[in-house]
């Protein structure tokens, strides 16, 4: 039996190819949703949109301190794993759910497979970096998306036989879910937007939105982009970001602030944007795959491959640097090579899991 543990919307998206492959093979598996960012009820629409089965278990742990949230997840995961006795547990990425799920399974002597292993920003101030490192070092199967990720793992002393370079499930997810989106939604028509005639923005990271100077710099930079290019700047505002804007009393002028979109709508917006500005790791990957230039509002990234192929630029959070970066990135051609694989990562991961179960 395979246990799939997830807790945030990006994890649902990147696990979707693995879940579909388990379904296709008619394998014995279950999904556990921790509710780290939202309750399962809030995330139900993601499962419905992506044509995925409902989770068998929902913990609804909600927000909290890192320690408090991690403890709640571990307690809930332990109960489920003791009941189900899976052969292997799969986690994806770098959230508290990932670290809590992996640590709990490891202590119960259940094999752990870490999808997207080996990513490093080399910035230990980021809680995600700590989660990545700890999860990698207690995992039995490390599914590295790129050669860079594999080298990071080897440099930290992880044995080569544990590492399997699969490509990234985000490639599978983008291709599979973009096809679904074309059948279900037409968000550009709904928003009266023309392809390549708007900018798309996401901003949610704690180090950006909880820092008044950084958040103000981001918003002023976005306003500068809108004024210079005279194109819509579509900014679906994360609840955390919206709360901080209100608390810090920062004015916003000229931006098209919206409620968060469903993933299928967002994927369509990404695929047709002139350029995407973000502080999200997943969005850096998605834009690279889709051939859309990306300006990352951070000072480091655990996705260096996007910088290497020329799909992404780091612009920080100062308004001047953001505008300069956008000026540069809008001149790029989109012929870079996708470094994240050919869209069969989900199949490769499930094959390894099936072999692990038979041992």
Question: DSSP secondary-structure letter at 201?
Answer: E
For residue 296 the two structure tokens come to: 């990352």
Tokens of 223: 């306003």
Exposure of 210 by Cβ count < 10 A (0-12 exposed, 13-18 middle, 19+ buried)? Answer: middle
- Kind of pairing, strands 29-33 and 111-115? unpaired
Provide the 8-state DSSP code for 203.
Answer: -
204 assigned to active site: yes
Question: How far are the Cα atoms of 147, 150, 341, 345 from residue 144, in angstroms, in the given order?
Answer: 8, 6, 11, 10
Q: What is d(CA 146, CA 143) in angstroms, rounded to the nearest whole number?
A: 9
Give the Cα separation of 294 and 271 in Å (integer): 11
Catalytic one among 37, 66, 204, 238?
204
Name 67's Cβ contacts closer than 8 Å, sequence gap at least 6. Answer: none
Q: How far is CA 135 from CA 64, 79, 107, 116, 192, in A?
A: 21, 20, 12, 11, 44
The catalytic residues are 204
């Amino acid at each position: 039996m395979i246990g799939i543990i997830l807790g945030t919307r990006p994890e649902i998206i990147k696990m979707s190819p693995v879940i579909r492959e388990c379904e296709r093979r008619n394998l014995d598996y279950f999904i556990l949703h921790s509710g780290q960012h939202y309750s399962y009820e809030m995330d139900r629409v993601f499962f419905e949109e992506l044509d995925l089965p409902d989770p068998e278990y929902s913990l609804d742990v909600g927000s909290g301190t890192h320690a408090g949230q991690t403890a709640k997840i571990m307690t809930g995961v332990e109960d489920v794993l003791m009941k189900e006795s899976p052969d292997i547990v799969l986690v994806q990425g770098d959230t508290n759910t990932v670290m809590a799920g992996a640590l709990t399974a490891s202590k119960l002597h259940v094999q752990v497979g870490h999808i997207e292993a080996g990513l490093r920003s080399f910035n230990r101030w980021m809680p995600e970096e700590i989660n990545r490192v700890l999860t990698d070092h207690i995992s039995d199967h490390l599914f590295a998306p790129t050669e860079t990720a594999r080298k990071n793992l080897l440099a930290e002393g992880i044995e080569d036989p544990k590492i399997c370079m699969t490509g990234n499930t985000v490639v599978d997810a983008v291709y599979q879910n973009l096809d679904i989106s074309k059948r279900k939604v037409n968000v550009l028509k709904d928003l009266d937007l023309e392809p390549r005639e708007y900018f798309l923005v996401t901003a949610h990271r704690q180090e950006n939105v909880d820092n008044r100077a950084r958040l103000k710099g981001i918003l002023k930079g976005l306003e500068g982009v809108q004024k210079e290019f005279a194109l819509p700047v579509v900014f679906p505002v994360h609840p955390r970001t919206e709360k901080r804007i209100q608390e810090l009393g920062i004015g916003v002028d000229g931006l098209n602030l919206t409620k968060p979109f469903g993933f299928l709508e967002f994927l369509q917006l990404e695929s047709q944007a002139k350029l995407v500005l973000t502080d999200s790791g997943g969005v850096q990957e998605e834009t690279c795959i889709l051939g859309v230039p990306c300006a990352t509002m951070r000072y480091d990234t655990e996705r260096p491959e996007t910088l290497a192929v020329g799909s992404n630029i780091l612009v920080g959070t100062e308004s001047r640097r953001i505008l300069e970066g956008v000026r540069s990135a809008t001149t790029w051609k989109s012929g870079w090579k996708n470094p994240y694989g050919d869209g069969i990562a989900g199949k490769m991961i499930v094959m390894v899991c099936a072999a692990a179960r038979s041992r």
